[in-house]
Structure 1
Amino acid sequence: MTSAVLTEQTGTVRRLRLNRPESRNSINPDLIRALDGAVADAMHDPDTEAVVISGNGPSFCAGADLRHLLELARTGGDPLAFLGLVSECFTRLETAPKPVIAAVHGHVVAGGLELALACDAVVAREGTVIGDGHIRNGLLPGAGSSVRLPRKVGEPLARRLMLTGELLPAEQFVPSGFVQAVTGAEEFEATVTSVARSFTQLPPGHARLKQLLADPNVPEALLRELDVFAEHWREQDIAAKLTRFFDQRAVR
């Protein structure tokens, strides 16, 4: 069985590559558990100083696996336990003691955006589009967009992205600092490596600095996000909305 997350070590940099390319690395329980475990392993490895998260296939990550959500909706369940795992994983990533860089391409949408928001730096390949996107499928964020997006890009742009579901070119996120660099395909890997190495070979202190950077209000806000998601899920016919999404995609 192929792992949902592939691991590669180059010097002191650990590369974690999301490996569900057939679904644009959409997040399901297997992937989030594999990512959580791989991040924990990297943080406990004394020879790893920085972590890079990227994705195989055409996209970095297109969000939650909507087929998984549809199956839960059709059977009368809800995804709260699953989203809790995702939210907790991303919080551990954000507060991890070593720097984490997201190397993104293709689509960085919904849960994919939430994953990138939990990282310390983002490098994008030309042609990448980024957005929250939840509202397009009648959903709300459940893994940090409503909490981290305004902090990373500013409230006006965060409101636009969340309330419209619009996807924007990665270049538009450079002025805010959320995306550190956008490069062509030929320079992308070299740029990712350069950014990752800029966090290495430094005196000890990353863990303490990330403690200082942590916002004490985030845990409560993330729980509120999940509560609002639960209310929305109960009030809406999510199964019908997701079925319509797959039906529309099938006829394209």
Structure 2
Amino acid sequence: MTYQNLKLELDGRIARVTLARGDKLNPLDWSTVKELKAVVARIEAAPGIDFVLLTGEGRSFSAGGDLDGYIRLYRDPAAFQAFLDDFFAMLTGIEKARAIWIAAVNGVCVAGGIELLLACDMGVAAESAKIGDGHLNFGQLPGAGGSQRLPRAIGLLRAKHLMLTGELLDARTAERWGLVTKVVPDADLMAAAGAWIAGMSAKSAVGLAGAKRLANLTLDTPYEEGLRREIAFVHRYATTEPDATEGLVAFKEKRAPRFGTPRKD
């Protein structure tokens, strides 16, 4: 499958997704959202892809929506609803995916761009990155989950500050606030994300997916129910997944674990 607005590279356990309209600051227009939605589904269906590295071409991760496109969509309520549904499905797909999605934030990350970042599991930013909400700077509101994911990520007061002021944070401030977990020199951005993947590649793929799933319970599950679901999930994992036993045996035998091998007993 060929894409007009992004690039997809598959390399073993890693998929690299690059928004490829750098001349336009990588807008998240409807066609791009549809392509991203298709890529999310393709990666999720592909066996053996455990990590996705997401970035933008040129000097922007993504500056958000295509304003001219929005004007046209606003005049067609049914089409605008379909666009919002596709955007929701794409971001929710990333959030709930088995694979670990890592955002490598280069340059401007605003409006729809921050909504895309917030759906990912981890984020590293280049020192030159600028990250914020920015919707109200143009009389808009977040419509792809930003108003819900942002307070969960950085707290209600800081989220309202970004939404109401439209301020763009520098990379170091974004790190302190919890929008990304690491800031590196621009030239080291992709290497830093790659180092995260290399470290996680030594871990159990089933365990990684399970840890992501458990953490995501906090998004929509009451506390006590989440605790009960954790117990049920971990019981099933420990008693049915070979990697759980292999990790303990490897520790006991003072060797590196060999995850992904079938249970012998």
Which TM class, normalised by the smaller chain length?
0.7 to 0.9
Distance 2:213 2:10 in 1: 26
The structure 2 residue matched to 1:214, chosen from 213, 216, 227, is 216
Identify the residue that residue 168 of structure 1 maps to in structure 2: 169
Q: Which of 1 and 2 has greater Rg? A: 2
Q: 1:211 deviation in Å?
A: 2.5
Identify the residue that residue 260 of structure 2 maps to in structure 1: none
Amino acid at match of 2:32: L
Q: 1:77 deviation in Å?
A: 6.8
- Equivalenced residue count is 219
Gaps of 5+ in 1: 220-252
Range that drifts further, 97-106 or 186-195:
186-195
Matched-pair contact (CA < 8 Å) for 2:101–2:122: yes
Matched-pair contact (CA < 8 Å) for 1:153–1:173: no
Q: 1:216 deviation in Å?
A: 6.8
Amino acid at match of 1:46: P
Sort the Cα spacing of 1:13 and 1:2 in 2 relative to 1 into closer, same or farther, 3 A. closer
Matched-pair contact (CA < 8 Å) for 1:61–1:108: yes
Distance 1:5 1:22 in 2: 13
Distance 1:14 1:217 in 2: 26
Distance 2:81 2:164 in 1: 22
Identify the residue that residue 160 of structure 2 maps to in structure 1: 159
Matched-pair contact (CA < 8 Å) for 1:102–1:121: yes
- TM-score norm. by structure 1 comes to 0.80
Any idea what SS the aligned residue of 1:115 has? helix
Sort the Cα spacing of 1:27 and 1:218 in 2 relative to 1 into closer, same or farther, 3 A. farther
Matched-pair contact (CA < 8 Å) for 1:61–1:111: yes
Report % sequence identity.
Answer: 37
Distance 1:154 1:211 in 2: 21
Distance 1:82 1:198 in 2: 37
Identify the residue that residue 195 of structure 1 maps to in structure 2: 196
1:129 counterpart = 2:130: yes
Sort the Cα spacing of 1:49 and 1:65 in 2 relative to 1 into closer, same or farther, 3 A. same
Distance 1:40 1:77 in 2: 24
Structure with larger RCO (C-alpha < 8 A, sep 6+): 1
Any idea what SS the aligned residue of 1:48 has? coil
Q: 1:162 deviation in Å?
A: 0.4
| TM-align CA RMSD | 2.0
